[in-house]
Chains A and B, each alone.
Chain A
Amino acid sequence: MKIWCPRCNQGWVTGAQIKSTNERVSVCEECEAAWANEKSINFETFVDMSTMLKAKGLSGNWSDLLVDKEQGS
């Protein structure tokens, strides 16, 4: 289910998989707010995508992710 971003109110939150770990995440394509738990997507629980990915030793860029094709704006 597509969710309008509760942080920026300007884009859709899309599902994605971290390539190196296969972990599922949800990310706003507009503001790069990210959530590790897709069942808890709200303003209070977002983290910055690059911050989340760099904490895992990754580049922090979209290239770290495989974005779900069926979602997004």
Chain B
Amino acid sequence: MRVADQADPGYVEAYGMLGGGSASKSLGKLTKIGPDAWQSTGGLKYVGLDNNGLNRVGHVMRHTVPGGTGFSVFSVPRNQVIELLDEAYLSPSRRPVPGDPAAFITPMGRTIGTSGENAVRLILRPGTTEVISAYPVNYP
């Protein structure tokens, strides 16, 4: 395994996942664990490609660019999104979405979305820590 660097394909290097933002130096760092697969220091895995050929980091990073009505967008800098997701995943405030055992909402106690969203919704592969998607939501 190695830490993500400029040799990694796709969006990982483009968004500078080398330890990320300032809130916590221990979160938000990605390590390559296989082809199109990374693991964050918080324990989340980003594995495989989406239907458009983006790796899972790139898929999540779509939520840093306005995508039309109903598509929520993170207000934090791109190079702090992975760190934010680590924080959301590890937070004791994280709770399952009723009726959806692979989805979780974490109230963040601050605005993290461009429309004032204050929580992160994580969608994982069932029974794993593999991220399918993550985006800002309002809570409650």
Contacts and interface: CB of A to CB of B under 8 A. Distances in A.
Nearest to B126: A48
Interface in B18-62: 48-52
A21 interface: no
Main secondary structure of the interface of B (DSSP, over half): loop
Contacts of A29: 50-52
B100 A10 contact: no
How big is the A interface, by class?
Answer: 20 to 34
Contacts, number: 45
Given A8-B123, A9-B70, A51-B126, A61 B132 contact: no
Contacts of B74: none
20 contacts: A4-B70, A7-B103, A8-B103, A8-B133, A8-B135, A9-B70, A10-B70, A10-B133, A14-B51, A31-B103, A31-B123, A43-B99, A44-B99, A48-B102, A48-B126, A61-B49, A62-B50, A62-B51, A67-B51, A73-B68
